[in-house]
Amino acid sequence: MRIERLKTDILILGSGGAGLFAAIHAKQANPDLDVTIAAKGLLGKSGCTRMVQGGYNVALGAGDSIERHFMDTIVGGKWLPRQDLAWTLCVKAVERIREMENEVGCFFDRNPDGTLHQKAFAGQSFDRTVHKGDLTGIEIINRLMEQVWALDARRLEEHRAIELIPARDGSGIAGVLLIDIRDGSYRLVEAKAVLLGTGAGPTMYLYHTPSGDKSCDGLAMALRYGLALRDMEMVQFHPTGLLGGPDTRMTGTVLEEGLRGAGGYLLNGAGERFMENQHPAGERATRDIVSRAIYAEMRAGRTTPMGGVFIEMAHLGPERVEDLFPGMVKRCADCGFDLAGGRVEVVPTAHYMMGGVEFEADCSTASPGLFAAGEDCGGVHGANRLGGNGVANSTVFGGIAGESMAAFVAGQRNWREPDESVIDAAIARAERPFTQAGGDLNGLRETLWQQMWDNVGILRTAAGLEQGRAAVADLAATLEGTGLADADRAFNLTWHDWLNLQNLLTISGVIAEAALAREDSRGAHFREDFPETGDLAKSAFTRVRLEGQDLETAMVPVIFDRVQPGESLIADEAGAPPVAAV
């Protein structure tokens, strides 16, 4: 089969906040670099950064500090974050927000005195979330997109990466094999440095927020490539996904955390507030706590007509709600709900993956030439990502990755020779559905959604996890024997549904495996059969690798190289977060 081949200095996979910032910083470091950006959709129009509503955490206000932001991140992550990564996030967020304002051209909301407005988000000891109304991601990605369009960079839009290709001599990465979705052809891009910034996306759950093109492609490729994945049991459920009914894709869409931060109430089907009985912070508790509380109401049958709970904002004043949250008020109105003056049904929705590729603070990985940034990476957030730390993560480490790749490429005179056997195997795998009889992909996908929601979701047990793991394995075997009715490869979206489902099944198995290995509860991972957290000083993270055809899991001790459990960098300051919160 003919494969088009091209060479570039730097190949960036993904056009969200991580990928676009990487391109900008790489070209700033060396304008002569040949930079190529490959996106599964259209540049700046696909991915999850564009969907960010709430905002961007950064320590700017009087009384706030990098140390306070760091401690909120560590405590919120239940002492599992890798501390050098969390510290880098908090320090560089200050630099990056100034860059977005003064160089990228972002306009964020301001106070009457001209300072940046920062709103309250759950799980934080200070109001530090910078925003543009409730449409922050659109502002960031639109301005980044304008900057990247002005760069001398090659754009491969509607190109799907399917395999990371190692060098034949094992010296590092040689390039990436992609499918041009527009005509179905294969393209090998050889690169001296590659950025994995595809953005994960837990769309294997019944209720989920990311767009349907997010299917954990980067994580599945990294696993097959031989990289270790950490914290993969830590899947964050946002407490308030819109519940619009079974016949609309709007179900699962996030109603942002700022609603609860502003004073919104959560009510069960009987109209009773229930969070006050669950946590001292009430509705402003962290996402994992609120999601579990909602799920408990659902399991007890105290639900709304469609099976969720209500969020209510009317007591704050409808005009004020419309002013603060225009995007969400309109979105709810489009679905027939009155967010400003009535009640809206919500349900916990799979939102973000704290786990991912193990990487260093300079965004390098264990494979020379392969870098990673954003949601494809693990270690920054630990067991729970604070709202507002996600887009900060992507933009902070995306910029760092661009600088690191430029420096790396400066020392690489030649491209590595790709391993042709890996290319052949990847094409054979992608071509497999064309050799099978057509089948029911929708049925397989819906079965996966239900199995992951029921057995590998918000509340877990060993029996449920084992059932979920077995079901995922059965679905994977069924998929291998399921083909396509249409042999045309140009814009064959059913083919890409098949490939999406294959990657989702791969990573679903990893999530179940890691969740079985963690026999305690913390953050997004709650084991009803092991409800206690245990000794924080003995904290360990999960590490999953693919050895042959089998997953191997290890528990690796967390290194506390900046602050120990029981200590705080801001212990003497008023409002410091609790040092051992679980």
Catalytic residues: 238, 260
- The DSSP-derived string for 239-302 is EEEE---TT-TTTT-B--THHHHTT-EEE-TTS-B-GGGT-TTGGGS-HHHHHHHHHHHHHTT-
Q: With contact defined as beta carbons under 8 Å apart, do 94 and 77 qualify?
A: no
Inter-residue contact 174 to 166 (CB < 8 Å): yes
**SS3 call for 17:** helix
H/E segment holding residue 143: helix 136-149
Question: Nearest CA to 494 among 181, 237, 194?
Answer: 181
Which ranges of 337-440 does DSSP label H, i.e. alpha helix? Answer: 389-410, 420-431
What is residue 435's DSSP assignment?
Answer: G
Contact 88, 298 (CB under 8 A): no
Distance CA 231, CA 440 (A): 32
Are 525 and 291 within 8 A, CB to CB?
Answer: no
Cβ proximity of 523 and 288 under 8 Å: yes
Q: Tell me how far CA of residue 269 lies from CA of 208, 266, 302, 314, 329, in angstroms.
A: 22, 10, 5, 17, 21
Would you say 181 and 326 are in contact if contact means Cβ atoms under 8 Å apart? no
3-state secondary structure of 437: coil
C-alpha distances in Å from residue 390, one per residue of 87, 293, 409, 575: 14, 23, 28, 23
